[in-house]
Amino acid sequence: MSKRLVWRKIVNGVMLTLTGVATFATVSVLFVILGCLIYQGGKSLSWNFFTKLPVPTGQEGGGMANAIVGSLQIVGLAALIGIPIGFLAGVYLAEFEDKKFGSLVRYVADLLNGVPSIIVGILAFTLVVVPMHGNSGLAGSIALAVMLIPIVTRQTEQFLREVPLALREAALALGASKWKMIATVAVPAGSKGILTGMILGVARISGESAPLLFTAAINQYWGGLTEPTASLPVMIYKYATSPFDDWHSQAWAAGLVLIGMVLTANILARLVLAKGVSVPRG
């Protein structure tokens, strides 16, 4: 072997090894994060965490039952608002698109998807919190819905477009009207992917805290639609940045619960519902 060939082979080996190291380093981050959360969160997770209200610092016990329920309320309402709007807008893009208006809507959906979540919080603050004269669970839901809509729109469009043309033509040839074809053929055919997209979208908004900071805010007691409402992500932020050790351990427990919910939804959506379908994110 010539000297040059040896050199080329060495470069080849070194660089390819480095790409492997980069991959390994990245992938191991997930396991480090999970390990830390399970170790630290597991120490402070107890039955009380799920059933008790927060207690002032210094007192033993206490939990985040209000934040768990609050998160479910806020995210549930956001899904109720955001999923229908996003889904129907996605149907428009995939099935009824006019060239110019369609690409404008698509562009705007991508733009909205890229807007920093804290800015969505400002929008919900001026739209809901200011007129209602106070923080409310509703304001938080609206902020999260605004984030959910473009995600669901683009996912719905993408999976409707994957439904084969022959299937649509068969329905139309049998005399079905267009909306009947969409409702009974195209949407059911793409439903697995669409559902996956919706679950991933809901999982993503359920971990958001920035848009909730000054909309749903925080509450030591049970919240509601018209009252400030605690949520797990905001509680993690407040407790982790507090100077108290017992609040820190509560934050770890809340982190473990939150990541458990988010990752379970992700794994279920990706493995069970859409086997083999990869979901690009935007």
Contacts (CB under 8 A) with other proteins, residues 88-107: 88-89, 91-93, 95-96, 101-102, 104-105
Q: Check residue 146 for interaction with other proteins (CB under 8 A).
A: yes
Q: Cβ of residue 63: shortest distance to other proteins, in angstroms?
A: 17
Q: Which is nearer to other proteins, 69 or 123 (CB)?
A: 123
- Which of 180, 184, 221, 244 is in the footprint of other proteins by CB under 8 A? 180
Question: Hey, which residues between 211 and 250 contact other proteins (CB under 8 A)?
Answer: 213-214, 217, 233, 236-237, 240-241, 248
Where does this chain touch other proteins (CB under 8 A) — which range of 67-75, 121-129, 185-193, 219-227?
A: 121-129
Positions 19 through 58 that interact with other proteins (CB under 8 A):
19-23, 25-27, 29-30, 33, 36-37, 40
Separation between Cα atoms, residue 51 and residue 258, nearest integer Å: 16
User: Does 204 help bind other proteins (rule: CB under 8 A)?
Assistant: yes
15 versus 80: smaller Cβ distance to other proteins:
15
**Rounded CA gap, 44 and 193, in Å?**
38
Among 43, 61, 80, 110, the residue binding other proteins under the rule CB under 8 A is 110
- Tell me whether residue 73 or residue 209 sits nearer to other proteins (CB atom): 209
Q: Of the candidates 85, 172, 195, 277, which one interacts with other proteins according to CB under 8 A?
A: 85
Site for other proteins contains 268 (CB under 8 A): no
Pick from 71, 136, 141, 153 the residue near other proteins by CB under 8 A. 153
Q: Are 190 and 163 in contact (CB under 8 A)?
A: yes
Looking at residues 52 to 81 of the shown chain, list those that interact with other proteins (rule: CB under 8 A): none
203 contributes a contact to other proteins by CB under 8 A: yes
